């Protein structure tokens, strides 16, 4: 078989966004029966991939192995997004916005005390972060 005869080749050649490519390839594979039956199976796969990355980190593996394992996690997360009918780019953008808001809250808390980030322990900064989370939850319930 030539490369042009494979099911995924047209998708790979037409899509440049990595998240969209992952979802499109997974969708095509699913159409021929190569898919998890439900999102729990995909979630289990994500846990497996996280464990594999953890082992590579503990073994202080070279960057190419870490890149491959992290890529496997991202690919599996795209598959979970597909199963949940969620755009992975939209999900990441949402988390980026959430991080932005919460970090701004932390920065405001730091500067309100007339200090720099370096003046606080990670635990203290994390307490500010948790306050931001609680404030967001309270505002969402209003």
- Considering the domain architecture, whether residues 65 and 98 belong to the same structural domain is answered as no
Question: Which tokens in the block code for residue 72?
Answer: 């496997």
Three-state secondary structure call for residue 17: coil
Q: What is the pLDDT of residue 93?
A: 98
Number of domains in the chain: 2
Residue 80 maps to which CATH number? Answer: 1.10.287.1080
Last residue of a domain, one of 69, 86, 103: 86
The pLDDT-based confidence of 142 (bands split at 50, 70, 90) is confident
- pLDDT bucket at 23, cuts 50 / 70 / 90: very high
Decide: 29 and 21 in contact? Cβ < 8 Å. no
Cut 0.85: pTM above it: yes
Q: Which of 86, 107, 125 is the last residue of a domain?
A: 86
Can you give the residue range of the structural domain that contains 103?
92-141
Confidence band (pLDDT; 50, 70, 90) for 92? Answer: very high
Residues 13 and 80 in one domain: yes
| pLDDT for 141 | 92
Q: Are 13 and 32 in the same domain?
A: yes
Please check whether residues 13 and 60 belong to one and the same domain: yes
């Amino acid at each position: 078989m030539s490369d042009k005869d494979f099911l995924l080749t047209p998708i790979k050649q037409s899509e440049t966004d990595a998240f969209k490519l992952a979802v499109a390839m997974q969708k095509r594979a699913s159409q021929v029966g190569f898919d998890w039956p439900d999102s729990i199976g995909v979630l289990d796969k994500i846990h497996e991939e996280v464990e594999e990355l953890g082992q590579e980190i503990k073994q202080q593996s070279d960057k190419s192995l870490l890149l491959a394992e992290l890529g496997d996690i991202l690919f599996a997360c795209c598959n979970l997004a597909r199963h949940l009918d969620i755009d992975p780019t939209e999900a990441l953008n949402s988390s980026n916005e959430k991080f932005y808001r919460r970090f701004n809250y932390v920065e405001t808390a730091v500067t309100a005390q007339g200090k720099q980030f370096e003046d606080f322990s990670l635990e203290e900064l994390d307490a500010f972060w948790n306050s931001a989370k609680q404030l967001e939850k309270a505002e969402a319930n209003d």
